[in-house]
Amino acid sequence: MGASCLSERRSSITLNTSLHAVSQILIRSNYLKIVIVGAGEVGFHIASRLANESKDVVVIDKDENALRRVSENLDVQVIRGSGSSPSVLEDAGIKAANILLAVTDSDEANLVACLVANIVSPTTKKLARIRNADYDNYHDHFREFAPHIDTIINPEIEVVKTIERLIQVPGALDVAEFAEGRLQLIGMRIEKGSELNGLKLADFGSRFGDKAPLVAGVVREEQMIVPRGSDRMMAGDIVYFISEKNKLSGVLSLFGKEQRPLKRAIIVGGGRIGIRLANLLEAKSIHTKIIEQSQKKCRYLADRMNKTVILHGDGSDQSLLQEENIQDTDVLVTLTNDEETNILVSLLAKRMGVGNTITKIGKFSYLPLMGTIGLEQVVSPRLSAIDSILQHIRKGKVLSAISLHGEQAEVIEALALPTSEIVGKPLMKVSFPKGSLLIGILRKDDVIIPSGKTIIEPDDRIIIFALREAVPKIEKLLTVKLEFF
């Protein structure tokens, strides 16, 4: 009897050990289970992205209508209930989850969800979306003294960074920075008078020499492609190219653009993002005005800001814009909480002579329409939140991940692991997935624009452009090789 019990116990230990080994293999492979608390716009679109990449996704929300939208459109599991409930989290499989994303509209709910998840499953990585500026100085404290939160994501901080990058590059529709800003990926539309119009990609080097940009992707008729050497660039195309920051002026000249110092800015909307942006512009000694419709908020802004001029009024009031010499403004940024107002004011400002307008949009359904009405510089806090989250979800040592043109493509900055398949051989011998392209390498202080003969070394920072369908295969390339004994 005792021998039998001992045998059964050994079998149980062996089985548990085997299950643990299998779970570790799954974690090291491309398998990923993610629990998302919050079925709003951010939660829905993150779930959509991950479900399309065959990730195991569970979405929790108390709102039945929000869950119905998720279940009817996505191949994910949904659970109705509070993401702060231990039993709900256990029903969602939190103990087997790699990552918990708390992305409700309530900062407090997100914090509590991470706290409870840490009690139930300490090994699950937890990310919380926190927007309130009151928490800004405490992000590090959350990670240091409250280990139940691994990462704080503030989309408002990220969207201000996006606006700053767009302001610095005239005519840019997208600007992404890598390696502390030394390398930039920029999306520009080719105009009829551009030197690039009608030129084959293969002829860029002989025509422009050192100024020739490395083109990663082209959007034509709203479809993103990775172009071949035989493809011609056409007026109306949006071209995504990589450039070292100190060489950007020469590349911009090919698009008929010239970098000029920013002197005057107008912000319409004095909310949290407006305040953050005004503080940034003040620090850069840019003459800034905020137009705000709420008199109470104007008094608050007047007490809070140092040099920014606060104007009480309606940003869509043409006479007010004329009084403020809108035509002499370098950039106008619309940041109210109403998409329709932002669109209207931006269109009005362009009609009145403002060359550069940046429009904040919350609804994802609006984004594809903006270019057709002439508003191409658009920012979205929700899209910024998704980019920040993707950085922490991607397999491998991913440093940043940025979505491009309606999420049709993604740019991933990652560390080349010594045992990954891309290290130690010429790029021409690396099987990069169709629809992807290595566009930059950062080796210590050196920036390398790669060729087929370039060899990636361990710990290089690499930048990969990938169409959406190629991203899962890129993740596999970035992870270590599995070894079985």
**pLDDT given for residue 426 in this prediction:** 92
User: Which runs of E-coded beta strand occur in 196-257?
Assistant: 214-220, 223-225, 238-244
Supply the pLDDT for residue 452. Answer: 87
Distance in angstroms (rounded) separating the CA atoms of residues 280 and 309 = 14
Q: How far apart are CA 87 and CA 167, in angstroms?
A: 48
Cα–Cα distance, 396 to 389 (Å, whole number): 15
Report the pLDDT value the prediction gives residue 65, as an integer from 0 to 100.
96
Q: Which DSSP category does 85 fall into?
A: -
What is the enclosing helix (H) or strand (E) of 401?
A: strand 397-404
pLDDT at 359: 96
pLDDT score for 38: 96
Residue for token digits 């011998």? Answer: 429
DSSP-derived 3-state class of residue 2: helix
- At residue 316, what are phi and psi to the nearest 5 degrees? -95, 5
Query: What one-character DSSP code corresponds to residue 480?
Result: P
Q: What is the pLDDT of residue 171?
A: 87
Cβ atoms < 10 Å from Cβ of 148? 20
Tokens of 447: 């920036």
Please, which residues have CB within 8 angstroms of residue 482's CB and are 6 or more apart in sequence?
25, 28, 29
Per-residue model confidence (pLDDT) at position 347: 95
Inter-residue contact 58 to 79 (CB < 8 Å): yes
Among candidate residues 222, 101, 124, the one with its CA nearest the CA of residue 173: 222
The amino acid at residue 321 is: L
**For domain 384-478, which CATH number applies: 3.30.70.1450, 3.30.70.100, 3.10.20.90, 3.40.50.1450?**
3.30.70.1450
CA distance 156 to 333: 14
The C-alpha atoms of residue 268 and residue 49 are separated, in whole angstroms, by: 32
Locate the domains of the chain by residue range: 32-153, 159-254, 264-379, 384-478
3-state secondary structure of 404: strand
Handedness of CA 302, 304, 309, 314 (dihedral sign): negative
Consecutive H or E run containing 100:
strand 99-102
- Residue 87 belongs to what H/E stretch? helix 86-91
What does residue 380 show for φ and ψ, rounded to 5 degrees? -140, 115
Is the domain covering 32-153 a CATH 3.40.50.620 domain? no
Q: What is the pLDDT of residue 143?
A: 63
- Summary count for the chain: helices (H), strands (E): 16, 22
Which class for 135: exposed (0-12), middle (13-18), buried (19 or more C-beta within 10 A)?
Answer: middle
| CA gap 187, 71 in Å, rounded | 34
CATH pick for 264-379 out of 3.40.640.10, 3.40.605.10, 3.40.50.720, 3.40.50.2300: 3.40.50.720
> Is residue 437 packed enough to be buried (19+ CB in 10 Å), middle (13-18) or exposed (0-12)?
buried
Distance CA 279, CA 63 (A): 37
Q: What is the pLDDT of residue 395?
A: 66
Fold match between domain 32-153 and domain 264-379: yes
DSSP 59-83: EEES-HHHHHHHHHHSSSEEEES-T
Start-to-end Cα distance in the chain: 35
366-388 residue pLDDT tens: 888 888 898 989 999 888 888 88
Which pLDDT does position 213 carry in this prediction? 85
* Alpha carbons within 13 A on the beta-carbon side of 445: 0
Name which of 84, 182, 64, 90 is nearest 449 in CA terms: 182
Q: Give the span between the Cα atoms of 352 and 209, in whole angstroms.
A: 39
- Give the burial string for 26-41 (b: 16+ CB within 10 Å, else e): eeeeeebbbbbbbbbb
Fold type of domain 159-254? Alpha-Beta Plaits (3.30.70)
Q: What's the residue count for the chain?
A: 485
User: Which segments of the chain have a pLDDT < 70?
Assistant: 1-31, 138-148, 395-396, 480-485
